[in-house]
Amino acid sequence: KTQTKICMKHEEKEANDNVSTVVQFVLLGFSELSNLQGFLPGVFSIIYMVILIGNSLIVIITRLDPALHKPMYFFLAHFSILEICYVSVTLPRILVSLWTKDRRISLLSCATQLCFFLVLGTAESFLLAVMSYDRYLAICNPLHYPLIMNPKKCHLLAAGSWLGGMPVQIGQTCQIFSLHFCHSNQINHFFCDIPPIVKLACGDTSVHEVSVYIVVILVGAVPFMLILVSYTKIIATILRLPTAQGRTKAFSTCSSHLLVVVLFFGSASITYFRPKSSHSAGTDKLLSLFYTIVTPMFNPVIYTLRNQDVIAALRRLFLKT
């Protein structure tokens, strides 16, 4: 208890204008779940191992199996690498806090975590849109698909997904941390995210909130609309296929991607599109768990169990070993 009080102690410096400026934050995390403090580190450690092993396995089989040397699996490998990076921004920090009971995080560390989290989240949004575009071309324009989705085009689309959101999100991070934080340094969350950080700012933050909404629309809503358009055309094309077997195969290759899209965009959009006044710490944490930890954990399962090519590749890999 004494150690916890020391960790939670308000640390600040006095600015020249007599306003307290925070130089260090405290991530409250799951401190309210006192009965589960001994249980949570083990659970999150297992989840992290599952995410690392599952997504790494997808990367390995897409590289080793010639049958998976296709644009669809090229993007899936990039998506798996992205998921590993995305989770590694938040989960190791959560584990350190749970194991050591030290919830303090410096202003610079918090800003760095937020920046990487936003950049990788944007990359995931863009890559999901690229993957839907790939499926649209494969199903709606199969004759021209090999010409359009050539290796050079695939590499450019992947690079654009990884790097496209960097300038905007670096700028947004600088804007968020240009705010004055006063009266409290306790972030009621398990990582540095925009809504709980903005809550700690003193003064009028309406301009910053509007800029956050604009960025979310650009990097989240626009890719999501492109995905919806792609899948509207994909579903219309599938329904026109002459055989039931062809329709089933086409749906099976798209349904896994669509499920991941719903999980990721659904939870993330609720978190960022809600007004500041309606944010509650418990709801924010629950929604954040979905798109930061739960979705990356289930992605390998979704893509393997619903894809016969991946199952066959896994079977060949295990038979060889």
Percent of the chain as helix, strand, coil, to the nearest 5: 75, 5, 20
Residue bearing the bigger pLDDT, 19 or 174? 174
pLDDT at 132: 92
Q: Hey, which of 90-99, 113-122, 240-249 has the most confident mean pLDDT? A: 113-122
pLDDT at 277: 60
Spatial CB neighbours of 295, under 8 Å, sequence gap ≥ 6: 260, 263, 264, 267
Spatial CB neighbours of 3, under 8 Å, sequence gap ≥ 6: 101
Q: Does residue 4 have a pLDDT over 50?
A: no
pLDDT at 112: 95
pLDDT at 16: 41
CATH number of the domain located at residue range(s) 29-320 in this protein: 1.20.1070.10
Report the range of poorest mean pLDDT among 4-8, 58-62, 188-192. 4-8
Distance CA 295, CA 29 (A): 19
pLDDT band at 306 (very low <50, low <70, confident <90, very high): low
CB contact at 8 A, 201 and 184 = no
Q: What is the pLDDT of residues 47-64, one digit of tens each?
A: 999 999 999 999 999 998
Burial of 309 (0-12, 13-18, 19+ CB in 10 A): middle
Let me know the angle formed at the C-alpha of 211 by 209 and 217, rounded to the nearest 5 degrees: 105
Give whole-number Cα distances, 103 to 32, 46, 97, 182, 282, in Å.
13, 21, 5, 19, 18
Average model confidence (pLDDT) across the chain: 84
Neighbours of 285 (CB within 10 A): 20
Q: Does residue 129 have a pLDDT over 70?
A: yes
pLDDT at 60: 92
pLDDT at 39: 82
Residue type, 178: S
Nearest to 125 by CA among 136, 115, 137, 117: 117
pLDDT at 279: 59
Residue bearing the bigger pLDDT, 186 or 255? 186
Provide, rounded to the nearest whole percent, the portion of the chain with pLDDT above 90. 40
Domain ranges of the chain: 29-320
Place of tokens 């650009």: 218
Q: What is the pTM of this model?
A: 0.85
Nearest to 288 by CA among 177, 191, 219: 191
Distance CA 26, CA 14 (A): 18
What average pLDDT does range 104-114 have in this prediction? 93
DSSP 25: E
Q: Does residue 205 have a pLDDT over 70?
A: yes
Q: What is the pLDDT of residues 135-185, one digit of tens each?
A: 999 989 989 999 999 999 999 999 999 999 999 999 999 999 988 887 678
Residue 179, Ramachandran bin (φ over 0: left; ψ between -120 and 50: alpha; else beta): beta
Cross-strand partners of 20: 14
Distance CA 7, CA 92 (A): 19
pLDDT at 276: 59
Q: What is the residue-wise DSSP string for 63-104? A: HH-GGG-SHHHHHHHHHHHHHHHHHHHHHHHHHHHHHH---E
